Structures are given as structure tokens and as C-alpha cells.
Amino acid sequence: MNVIPLCFDSMGVRSSCFFVQCEGLNILIDPSLALANTRRGVCPTDDEMNAFFNFKKKIVDFAKRSDIIIVTHYHNGHYISSQDETFEEIYSNKIVLCKDRTKKLDLTQRNKGKEFEITVKKICKEYNIADFNSFNFKNVKISFSEPVWHGTERSQFGYVVMVTISEKKFKFMYSSDVTGPILESTADLIIKENPDLLYLCSAPTHLLGFEITDSNLFFIEKNVKKIIDKSKIKTIIYDHYLLRDKDYKKYYSKYQSWAKAKKKYFLTAAEFIGQEINQLEANRTVNENY
């Protein structure tokens, strides 16, 4: 199995898109990306805009090589809707596995999910609900978790599904937007799955005091350490929200040290593929009058 992070916050764009290459089967997870329209009164830079369009083209290119498209929830940075000009290029003649749009979602995602289901069924090869289901394709097993909270319990953002891809004796787990994880129940599901390689969604520390609290950070630290200590996971890719914080190392370095003490790897998506971290959004020049 070859696991390739395609575009991520550590690479310069809001995304957590993976391409997973198995023997005779290619899988694309959450093929989308987004830009913050404004950040403390500052619009995206030319570098951000260029990165956005380059990464969007990359997603389309890899979608064409994919057999299966996975959608873990209906936020703009995780799926492409029918309103986008790339919609047919991404989903045409693909097997689509996606979050159940009728259950455990906020109203906005329910509406987006309904629009997505109606339109994608017209062009895809096969459409399946992912929640708590497993699928076997050739020698590859794709398993989905029960819906888990997008962050805290009763989060306004609803639920997501996590996915595990198994080929032979290797497991890759994609935790979607679990933000930390904040909840110990989510950490326990990850430990129970016990993959070899884990993508773990980080928390939006740039929104400390707004969408995340000091109490949340306390539980995140506890859960990250628990995952490192109690699982066989050799490598953790920790990315997404945290890389929107210019001071991300304040949190990240601590987790990295814990992993190193256990002879494990803890790194961003950019580092995983041997690239330098490129925090384009975090490095926008702040408008002090905002």
C-alpha cells in the first residue's frame, strides 16, 4: 500500500486529501480543498490562490486515476459539490462511499448531502453509505467507523466517519475531522482499530477562546498521548487545523517528543512526503485595524 497525502494545510491549502494506491485498486479520500475568505481581515494572498488552483488540478488528476472516492462528511473542504466545474471529472464512473446524509448531521450538511446524493448517483458507477459498514474490493478491505463527533459532543458541526483501509497485513486509518481528538471515546476507537499508519486530525488552536478552549486542549493532550502509548501505531500524520496556527509547534513539538520516546514517528503531511512545511494561511500579514 502506498499512502500519499495530496494536499494539506501543511502544504499551503485547507484540505486533508489522501490518495491510497493498493494492488490493482486506487482510492481517493475527501477530494476537496478550501480557502479562508478572510483571516483577521486579510484576504488570501496570490501565493494562496495559486496553491489552491494547483492543488485543485492535482485532485482532479488523481481522481481520474482512482476507482473509489470516499467522502467522510459534507464540509466544503472535504467533498466537491455539483456546483463545482470539476464535479463530473472527479466522480464520473467511480464507486462512491460516503457519510449517510440522513443521520447524525447538522441541517446544513443534511441539505448538502441530499444535493450530493441526487447528483452523484447520475454519474457514478456505484453509490454506498459508509457509516459503520465494510466493503471488500479484490484483496482490499475498507471499513468505516460509527459516526463520531466533529470535535466535542453536541458539536454544531455534527458527525464524521473514520475509515480504515487494510491490504494484506498493513492498515491505514484516516480519522477525518475529529479535531484532536477531543473525545476519549474517539481515541479509544482509534486504539481499538490499531493501524500501522494513522492520519490524525489536529485542533484549530488559532481559534483558541472561540471554537476551542483550554479544557479541550487538556483532553487533546491526554488523548494524543494515550494513542501514542496504547497502540502499535508506528507513524502518525498530524495535520489540518493546527497548521493554520503560526505557533503550532507550541503543541506539536510536545506530541512529537512523546512519539519519539516510544520510537514512533509523528509528523505533518508535508514532512511525511519530504517537503518543507508551507503555512500560507497562517503567514498572512495581519491587518492590525481589523
Per-residue pLDDT of the chain (290 residues; tens, 9 = 90+): 999 999 999 999 999 999 999 999 999 999 999 998 888 788 999 999 999 999 999 999 999 999 999 999 999 999 999 999 999 999 999 999 999 999 999 999 999 999 999 999 999 999 999 999 999 998 999 999 999 999 999 888 899 999 999 999 999 999 999 999 999 999 999 999 999 999 999 999 999 988 899 999 999 999 999 999 999 999 999 999 999 999 999 999 999 999 999 999 999 999 999 999 999 999 987 654 43
CA distance 204 to 211: 7
- Does the pTM surpass 0.85? The reply is yes
Domain at 2-272, CATH from 3.60.15.10, 3.90.550.10, 3.10.20.740, 3.40.50.200: 3.60.15.10
| Dihedral sign (CA 266, 272, 274, 278) | negative
And the C-alpha cell for 240?
489540518
* H-helix or E-strand spanning residue 265: strand 265-267
CA distance 229 to 141: 26
The string of DSSP letters for 244-289 reads GSTTTHHHHHHHHHHHHHTT-EEE-HHHHTT-----TTTTSPP-TT
List beta partners, residue 149.
159
Q: How far is CA 152 from CA 36, 128, 136, in A?
A: 22, 27, 32
